[in-house]
Amino acid sequence: MMLGLSLQALTLIHVIISLIAIAAGLVVMFGLLGSKPMPALTATFLLFTILTSATGFLFPFKELLPSHVIGIISLVLLAIACFSLYSMKLKGVWRPVYIVTAMISLYFNVFVLVIQSFLKVPALAALAPAVPPAPPSGPVFAVVQGIVLVFFVVLTIGAWRRYKPMAFA
């Protein structure tokens, strides 16, 4: 039990938080491409992405895992994104810093979603079997993760070029 929750309940809460973060983040990403700030949705994305990384540390573990490293990096990037957005108001270099840090954090969430999907969805697991504790592997898994990476690189570059907020916050 963690925080009075069973492992199953904690997992469900963590997954719901993660899906909210990803959904909000994708809308924010496309908003950046259209130069639409969306302050409330951006705050939702940042908050739920922080919660996703933080709740990942509530699961029992005996050693530092790759998921913890991703969580730590994500929290650092999110701190920089929040500072860029809320303290520096995206002025000067802080606009691209915000875009890159926020989108890398979103990418990490989607990266983990793909891994978990291949682990938990039987049809996907059959395409890319995993031998615990290793994540899924194989050409199908690699292609999917490659497509996700290219998608995020292209859209992050697009957001960097196109997002010119008049004022935010």
Q: Is 130 helix (H, G, I), strand (E, B) or coil?
A: coil
Q: What is the pLDDT of residue 138?
A: 86
CB contact set of 136 (below 8 Å; sequence gap of 6+):
115, 118, 119, 124, 125, 128, 129, 130
Q: What residue segments make up the domains of the chain, in order of their start?
A: 7-162
What's the chain's length in residues? 169
The one-letter code for the residue type at 82 is C
- DSSP single-letter state for residue 87: I
Query: CA 60, CA 57: separation in Å to the nearest integer?
Result: 8
CA–CA distance from 15 to each of 12, 35, 42, 121, 142 (Å)?
5, 30, 19, 14, 23
Q: What is the pLDDT of residue 166?
A: 67
Q: Is 74 exposed, middle or buried (0-12, 13-18, 19+ CB in 10 A)?
A: buried
Q: What is the pLDDT of residue 90?
A: 94
**pLDDT one digit per residue (tens) for the chain, 169 residues:** 567 889 999 999 999 999 999 999 999 999 999 999 899 999 999 999 999 999 999 998 888 888 899 999 999 999 999 999 999 999 999 999 999 999 999 999 999 999 999 988 989 888 887 776 678 888 999 999 999 999 999 999 999 999 987 655 5
Query: CA 168, CA 56: separation in Å to the nearest integer?
Result: 30
Could you tell me the two tokens for 112? 């983990």
Query: CA 125, CA 77: separation in Å to the nearest integer?
Result: 31
Q: What is the pLDDT of residue 26?
A: 98
Q: What is the pLDDT of residue 111?
A: 96
The CA angle 145-147-152, to the nearest 5 degrees, is 95
- Cα end-to-end span (Å), the chain: 39
Query: CA 17, CA 33: separation in Å to the nearest integer?
Result: 24
